Structure 1
Amino acid sequence: MGKVIGFELSSQEPEKATKFYPEVFGWKISEPKWDYWAISTEKDTENSGINGGISKGPNDYPHGTRIQIEVESVDEAIYKAKANGAMVVREKMDFDEFYLAYLVDPTGIGFGLIQNK
């Protein structure tokens, strides 16, 4: 079963967003990697939340929020999603520790698929 493991905030002004969220919610923002600023929403182990990140939104998703869903196989999840009416926005990408793809469900809601290596 896929589980929600994070979120991604897309913005055309990511540097501004990286100042806003720590001030308002106390989130910890890491230095950027791949134009992506990792977010920790955890205050302590008892008060853990879902972590995520901020990125400069691409042309196909300039601003908004996407959940990230962990799956055992990105390829299999893409196949099943397409068979059920989803559209692939960004094919499987290879990062150091994981694979990532972006899709849109039949209603227009965007989401990411993550498979750990």
Structure 2
Amino acid sequence: MGRVVLFEMNSQDPERAASFYSTVFGWEIGASSWGYLPVTTGNEDKPGIHGGISKGPSDYPHGIRIQIQVDDIDEAIQNSVDMGAQVVREKMEFDNFYLAYLVDPVGNGIGLIQNK
């Protein structure tokens, strides 16, 4: 079962967005890595998820995507395409995980993430 493990906020002014969410909601904003500001939204003793804020690319300049953790990203991409999704960014490799971006059949942007 794919589980929502992160959210990703895209903005053309990520520092301003980070300042807003930090000030208004008390979110802790971490140091930038690859242009991505990690966000901690609370303690582990309450339900919720963490995420990040980054500068949105031209194909997704602003908005929020959920990141769904999968066991096999290649299989999840293929199953998604078979069900009508479009791949926006093919599987990318990072130090500890793989990541791909898709648009589901009704237009929602999602990310698929597989830990190594």
Unpaired runs of at least 5, structure 2: none
What is the root-mean-square deviation in Å for CA atoms of aligned residues?
0.8
2:103 aligned partner: 104
Between the aligned partners of 2:8 and 2:70, the Cα distance in structure 1 is 17
2:74 aligned partner: 75
1:1-117 equivalent positions in 2, closer than 5 A: 1-42=1-42, 44-117=43-116
Percent of residue pairs bearing the same amino acid type: 60
Unpaired runs of at least 5, structure 1: none
Query: Cα distance, 1:18 vs. partner?
Result: 1.2
Query: Cα distance, 1:49 vs. partner?
Result: 1.9
Kept in 2: contact 1:97–1:116 (CA 8 A): yes
Kept in 2: contact 1:41–1:48 (CA 8 A): no
How many residue pairs get matched? 116
* TM-score, normalisation: structure 1: 0.97
Query: Cα distance, 1:45 vs. partner?
Result: 3.0
Instruction: Return structure 1 stretches of 4+ with deviation > 4 angstroms.
Output: none
Query: Cα distance, 1:48 vs. partner?
Result: 4.4
